[in-house]
Structure 1
Amino acid sequence: MTVNYEYDGVTASPELETYVKGKIDKLFSKYEFIVRADVFFKTENTSTRNSKMKTSIRLSAPGPRLFADTTSDSFHKSASEVISALERQLEKRKGVMQTH
């Protein structure tokens, strides 16, 4: 599985990439049909101080791509929330898929 990172207005962070890669690897081990993950980190100009850091993840798997994003006060927190949302989507996708 390939994981691509893209930063928009954020300095690249190897520690953050390691954290997200660990979470995505857990998803990959549970759902082996995932082919690729694209991770986007972005800072947004908002009026609230607690929701400036946005994490988006797009997963390539059989069928339509899966996508989730969230904004929080830290990239670690928003990444965890995005992974949880994607796990719910993957569980639904796995239920629909049938083996022949």
Structure 2
Amino acid sequence: MKVNTQAVNFNANPELLNFVQERMNKLDTYFDKVIKSDVFLKVENTSGKENKVFEARVSVPGDSFVVKKQCKSFEEGADIAIASLERQLKKRKEKLRAHL
């Protein structure tokens, strides 16, 4: 799957980009008709420790899913957000099977 990753307000290192790509590729096992996915990594200027925002938009035929998580690290945010996307894609696939 092609993942378009954008880092906002900072330069992302290649290890972080590879981590996001690998985690997003696992979504193909749950729903194989993913058209594209966009990931936005943002650092907010707040005094709190949870200033990293991971936002993912996954487009499937007829719908798109958006998940936004704010955590201490991008890896933690990615894990939580992608787990949420997995649940949404499973639910979508079950609905499509029920209509067949």
Identity %: 34
- Which residue of 1 is the match for residue 34 of structure 2? 34
Are the equivalent residues in 1 in contact too, given 2:57–2:64 (CA < 8 A)?
yes
TM-score by length of 1: 0.90
Structure 1 consecutive aligned stretches of length 4 or more whose deviation exceeds 6 Å: none
Superposed CA offset, 1:60-80 (max 9, x none):
101221110101111111111
Contiguous gaps of at least 5 residues in structure 1? none
Does the 8 Å contact 2:30/2:86 carry over to 1?
Answer: no
The number of equivalent residue pairs is: 99
Which amino acid in 1 is paired with 2:53?
Answer: K
Structure 2, unmatched stretches of 5+, are none
C-alpha distance in 2, partners of 1:45/1:61? 33
Q: CA deviation at 1:33?
A: 1.1
What TM-score, normalized to structure 2?
0.90
User: Could you say which residue in structure 1 is the equivalent of 2:85?
Assistant: 86
After superposition, the CA RMSD in angstroms is 1.4
